[in-house]
A and B are shown apart, each in its own frame.
Chain A
Amino acid sequence: MAAYPGMSMGEAHRRITEYLNRFSDAVSNQDAASLRFLLSLSSNSPFLLSLADALNIFQDSGRLIKHSDHYSQYSDILFNLFRSLQTYRLGNLFDSYQAFEKSANAFIQEFRNWESAWALEALYALAYEIRVLAERADRDLASNGKSPEKLKAAGSFLMKVFGVLAGKGPKRVGALYVTCQLFKVYFKLGTVHLCRSVIRSIETARIFDFEEFPKRDKVTYMYYTGRLEVFNENFPAADNKLSYALTHCNPRREANIRMILKYLIPVKLSIGILPKDWLLEKYNLVEYRDVVQALRRGDLRLLRRALQEHEDRFLRSGVFLVLEKLELQVYQRLVKKIYIIQKQKDPTKAHQVKLEVIVKALKWLEMDMDVDEVECIMSILIYKNLVKGYFAHKSKVVVLSKQDPFPKLNGKPVNS
């Protein structure tokens, strides 16, 4: 009691009843915005914070809820919500999450019974809150040496919410939002494989056209599925999805654009499309600058350095292996350069590139590779159709095709 000297018992009571009234009004008026506000625990709005204080003073809020017919039907929601608020205010995120999940469960029970989808906004808030709360609770748990498991629980709760929305009907519009929350959970947990079932239900359902989902959700969805395609090394698909996200996202949200570009650029690079420098500068993606440079110049050393330098970052974002595979394109560029130089010297013999020349070029780049290794790389280049021609083992010469010896990728991935 002493902790909240500014509030009297009467004041606390008044605030609680005010909240209860606003809640029941929002429900009866189908005012999703107000409801959303009332449920947004982590918004730290002064109204909710003072309510939390009031709840800590006036301990018997349960009786208040049960007292009135207006609220008693929502007692499961409200009671647990109050407890969640209370503990949230006290910094006990674990308990807060627990209570919030119960409250949210009760809420979706109600939501199920509402025929129209008016409360979707409120449900979004719920889905968001539960994820954020779970993340914070997990952080707490981890710092206390306990195993963080709340995010996992949030994942399964969200799956339940998804089930409520995914059916036929007006509520389906909300499914994609929940899906995106689920993606966030799964990506954080590293259980990306769990995304598959949700994706399937979104993409295979004929009852709802994907384009009818809110744009915001579509962008998020495309972003995450694009990232999944990067994991799968399915670059054309990743390109499609990430490009969709980029073209449809809010152009003023630079952070979002950056996030998309972080994956889109490696994808584009791997299919032979290089970004302009200003783009990298504008969105602060300088870690890619050297990579792009290396590709332009055929500078293997630069590529390797860049990869080494940003290895941690690339590994964490999951593009390391994508970038590493650019090596072949760098080799291609290198051979092409040699070819161009030879052509300038003697156009008739330009299409025969001696292996020792390439080895020498690599030496200049401080790449210590012997003939066998380079031969192998040339063989791979030809095999993957980055170089047209053949390798003559006896004479150790790469014989280039006279027509288009270095085919451009033009948006197609390297053959694998």
Chain B
Amino acid sequence: MQHHSHLVHRVWEQQMYHKITMAMHHTLILLIHMVMELQDTRVTIIAIRSSSSSSLTILAISSSLTTPAISRNLTTPAISSSLITPAISSSLIIPAISSSLIPATSSSLIPATSSSTLTLPIHNLWEHIKTQTAGGYPSSGYSNQTTTWSDGSYANYTPHQYANYTPDSSTSAYSSGTVTAPSSHYQQQQYKQWADYYSQTEVSCAPGTENMTVASKSNVGCPIPGVSSGYSTSTSQAPPSYTPSWMPESSSSEFSSVQPAAGISSASDAYWQHGAPSSQIHITSPMQPQSQKPLDPKTTYDSFLDQQKAAYSQGHNLQYPATHQVPQSYQSPANQQVPQSYQSPAQIVPSSDTRRVSKLQIPTNPRIASNLTFGLPKTDKDSSTAGAAVKPAYISVSQPKANEKVLSNDAADSMLKPGTFPKSLRGYVERALVRCKGDMQMEACQDFMKEMITKATADGTLYTRDWDTEPLFPLPNVDAVNKDLQSSTPGSSLPKYKRSPSRRSKSRWEPLPEEKFVDKSASVMSDTMKYGGWINANDKDRKPFFGNNGNKENNMSGMKFSPLDQKNASKNAQRPVKKQRYADGFNVADNCDASSDSDKEQSLTAYYSSAITLANTPEEKKRRENRSKRFEKRQGRTESNQFKPKNAGAGNLYSRRASALVLSKTFEDGAARAVEDIDWDSLTVKGTCQEIEKRYLRLTSAPDPASVRPEEVLEKALDMVHNSQKNYLYKCDQLKSIRQDLTVQRIRNWLTVKVYETHARLALEVGDLFEYNQCQSQLKTLYAEGIEGCHMEFSAYNLLCVILHSNNYRDLLSSMSRLSDEAKKDETVKHALAVRAAVTSENYVMFFRLYKTAPYLSTCLMDLYVEKMRYKAVSCMSRSYRPTIPVSYVAQVLGFITARPRNEGSDEKDSDGLGECVDWLKAHGACLIADNNGEMQLDTKASCASLFVPEPEDAVAHGDANLAVNDFLTRTSL
């Protein structure tokens, strides 16, 4: 059963993993895992960030025992963490670690004790960080970024937690840290407070984070030292009990749940449970270089570098804290061993990486702060209690569990967001696993299924596929699988997981397909949301986040979040995301890269492989080179971006246009001119295109004569449109292209007028006022130039348009005063003026008479006003008539009946019109009654109060019912 559950978890995990990748790209980071392994000692820190208020929470910090089994377990998380880390700000992790770990350092180095184990890795880590920072980047860059970020995030935390503390003793640790930190003053104070706080509460991590957030500049580092002091005491007490207690727990069922989240590979799980030593894993872990059995220095260094990059490249915050802490760690004797070996390499590293890091820092900061506040308190409590020696074992165990569980929850959560992880899938997984004999096979199976699920997720078939009927895959040949794995991941024993971290870092900084993740951002967001909500809820309740409660919840699996939590989550959801985005956008260069990255459509697999190779030094070098070339690249990219769409469009749709575009492109390239700057005079083309039909495409560059039709062809095209049976959208498209060709060739003559008139009429017929107005304004100038046309007709339309649709007194006056005497004699114009009079006097009888006798397309314009006029009329009538009006009269007066009722031979029509009128009246709330003769009457007194304007039935969101979906589709398919 355990296995099964593992697998299920695995599935979750996978999803989570998926999410994470996406998140990384999006800088929405859900989880932070950090595992540090040093030799035998391992510290796992799992941080999960909740996005509730744009902040991350570190859910758990687990320090693991020396035992190989544990290490195994931890390693897996580590890998996953490394994946996550780049996306998530490294800073988060570090503070967390620092708090828990630092104490250890101070207390003792001995691996046997849990505390001691912690120290070693930490130191190394810190050192690295420190070195990086030191080598690093101009501080100015930081401060800017930090400030921007700081605003949102810290607001939340500060109030509750800080308030109480008095500046305190533990500051000594600080000073060292402070030196490195740019903004010493501020930080120091804060540190003190924190230190105090820590010592009291024994919270390790939280304070550090808080500080970071509060201080706009790199505060991160400072708090940690303070923490450490408090911590150290606790740790020292606890140590002995740690290891043993942990072990038993790990094997327990609870663990299984943990595993999926933390452990990525089945192998790792197995290790965990069995306690098998995991020597291979070490390589992956960032801490390795520090390991006491140093391999050759070079390799370690390299690997270290790589790892660091993976882990840290994104979060600069890490580095900061590192800086502060490092000094401390140095002072402690324990550290001295490791650090030295480290330092030299580390220092070399920084310059290259630092820059990257610095950029990233900002986004991470707020989250970190948040994380600390929410997540850490619990940890602190736990750790403190543990440290106090009550039940050290328990605590240590519970912590990692909690973390892992949270992770799993998170993963599950993320998956579940859209729905739940399909039950059928779980069943499927279980069925598949039952068949397995032996761990190896089981592992292979799990791997296989993982891939399957990943694929399904990617396909989007995860939820649609019927897992119940899905045939089980043949049992894999274990050896083969192993081989595959190994071959695919040359450098590392844990190929996939390992890749992911590097992938992240890469995705961030190198041209890699970012776009893929974009669409998934939604799910990521949701995930975050949930998380945040959860955490918040916890916070409210003051329940320890990953205390016992947490465990219970976790055991129940991620789906079982209480509805309340979810609600909260959803509330909180949006803000953090936005911030993240903002952070992303903050760095222009980054963006540029990202966008350009998206240009390269690489498959995920390619992605992976590249990531793997990344781990190698040569690749890293390349990366650096790339980075240095970024500017050149960007230029190139922007260019390509510019032309891409054009080319694509051309290629797809209009092959002939393509050539034109190419031409224009070369033109543009040469002159480096914007489209607006193009001298259209010199570009007035003589078209040579002989095709009559042409789709409209808005010009984005100089037109190509080969794609422009000369006047005679345009004439034919106009005829074609006239005679075409196709719908308005087609005609509109054609006419627009004709108009364009005319404009481009600067043809302004009768043909131009005719085209515009044709288009205006067509537009009127379908009520497309937008196109109509365009044509009308063109016609105005064309007529003004003295070109013959149906001037009167269109000035009448213009008048009607102003009267009926703009309803602007001044516009009406000015267009009326502009009418020439000659125009006023024109029948159409007269009609329009009469309509105006009817409208201004609200004379509905007159209006509907004019409506019936409207010349040309005036009817169409009036159509659009009929409803309004009718309503006005009926409200007027119901006010002034008593006791009733025959509906037939209303129908006649309001134009429902086209012919006068007394006319003969129109009975049918009349009854139709009457029915329509009745319907209309009813729809508008009128009271209808039948009189003695059975004739319908409008009860005016009753109607007077009950009339209303109903919502138009054909209302559409975009406000233009003419742009119905079907029409739109036909248009696009043209």
Contact = CB atoms under 8 A, between A and B. Distances in A.
Interface stretch (B401-409, B494-502, B840-848): B840-848
A367 interface: no
Interface string B799-821: 00000000001101110110000
Main DSSP-derived SS at the B contact region = helix
Interface stretch (B134-142, B363-371, B784-792, B875-883): B875-883
B384 interface: no
B845 A393 contact: no
Nearest to A379: B880
Contact of B843 (A233, A376, A391, A393): A376
A375 B880 CA distance: 10
Contacts of A324: 837, 840-841
Contacts of A205: none
A331 B626 CA distance: 87
Interface in B873-897: 875-877, 879-882, 884-886, 889, 893
A372 interface: yes
A372 B879 contact: no
B816 A391 contact: no
Interface in A322-377: 324-325, 327-328, 372-373, 375-377
A381 B846 CA distance: 15
Interface of B: 809-810, 812-814, 816-817, 837, 840-846, 875-877, 879-882, 884-886, 889, 893
Contact of A320 (B813, B880, B893): B813
A376 B893 contact: yes
Given A376-B845, A393-B886, A192 B880 contact: no
A392 interface: yes
Given A324-B841, A375-B845, A393-B889, 18 more contacts: A231-B810, A232-B809, A312-B817, A315-B817, A324-B837, A325-B841, A373-B846, A376-B844, A376-B846, A377-B843, A378-B880, A380-B876, A381-B880, A382-B879, A382-B880, A383-B875, A383-B879, A391-B882
A318 B813 contact: yes
Interface string A290-327: 00000000000000000000001001101011001101
Given A315-B817, A318-B813, A320-B813, A391 B881 contact: yes
Given A231-B809, A231-B810, A393-B886, A315 B816 contact: yes
A321 B817 contact: no
Given A376-B846, A376-B893, A383-B876, A233 B882 contact: no
A190 interface: yes
Contacts of B875: 383
Contacts of A378: 880
A192 B810 contact: yes
Query: 10 smallest A-B Cβ distances: which pairs?
Result: A382-B880, A376-B845, A315-B817, A390-B882, A379-B880, A383-B876, A383-B879, A383-B880, A393-B885, A373-B845
Contacts of A377: 843
Contacts of A328: 841
A372 B845 contact: yes
Contacts of B809: 231-233, 321
Contacts of A391: 880-882
B845 A320 contact: no
A397 to B, nearest CB: 11
Which range holds the interface residue count of chain A? 20 to 34
Main DSSP-derived SS at the A contact region = helix
A355 to B, nearest CB: 12
14 contacts: A190-B814, A192-B810, A315-B816, A316-B817, A324-B840, A327-B841, A328-B841, A373-B845, A373-B846, A376-B844, A377-B843, A380-B843, A382-B879, A391-B882
A373 B879 CA distance: 17
A212 B875 CA distance: 48
Nearest to B875: A383
B504 to A, nearest CB: 52
A376 B880 CA distance: 10
Interface in A221-242: 231-233
Contacts of A390: 880-882
B267 to A, nearest CB: 72
A318 B882 CA distance: 38
Given A315-B816, A316-B817, A318-B813, A380 B882 contact: no
Interface string A198-238: 00000000000000000000000000000000011100000
B655 to A, nearest CB: 42
Nearest to B931: A394
A361 B876 CA distance: 24
Nearest to B809: A231
Contacts of B880: 378-383, 390-391
Interface of A: 190, 192, 231-233, 312, 315-316, 318, 320-321, 324-325, 327-328, 372-373, 375-383, 390-393, 399
A326 to B, nearest CB: 11
A377 B837 CA distance: 13
Nearest to B819: A315
Contacts of A190: 810, 814
A327 B816 CA distance: 19
A390 B846 CA distance: 21
A96 to B, nearest CB: 30
Contacts of A376: 843-846, 893
Q: Which of B812, B840, B842, B875 has the most CB of A within 10 A?
A: B842
B841 A380 contact: yes
A373 B813 contact: no
Nearest to A381: B880
Q: Which of B842, B880, B886, B893 has the most CB of A within 10 A?
A: B880
B876 A379 contact: yes
A379 B877 contact: yes
A394 to B, nearest CB: 8
A372 B901 CA distance: 13
Contacts of A373: 843, 845-846
Contacts of B843: 373, 376-377, 380
Contacts of A399: 882
A377 B873 CA distance: 11
Nearest to A228: B810
A232 B813 CA distance: 12
B817 to A, nearest CB: 4
A372 B891 CA distance: 13
Contact of A321 (B812, B844, B845, B885): B812
A377 B893 CA distance: 13
B496 to A, nearest CB: 63
Given A318-B810, A391-B880, A380 B817 contact: no
B813 A380 contact: no
A292 B889 CA distance: 36
Contacts of A325: 840-841
A380 B842 CA distance: 8
Contacts of B882: 390-392, 399
Contact of A379 (B812, B813, B881): B881
Contacts of B889: 393
A315 B816 CA distance: 7
Nearest to B814: A190
B921 to A, nearest CB: 15
Contacts of B812: 321
Q: Which of B817, B837, B876 has the most CB of A within 10 A?
A: B817
A320 B875 CA distance: 27
A291 to B, nearest CB: 16
A320 B819 CA distance: 14
Contacts of A382: 879-880
B818 to A, nearest CB: 9
A316 B893 CA distance: 35
Nearest to A331: B841
A392 B837 CA distance: 26
Contacts of A316: 817
Contacts of A392: 881-882
Contacts of B846: 373, 376
Given A373-B843, A380-B842, A393 B884 contact: yes
A133 B809 CA distance: 31
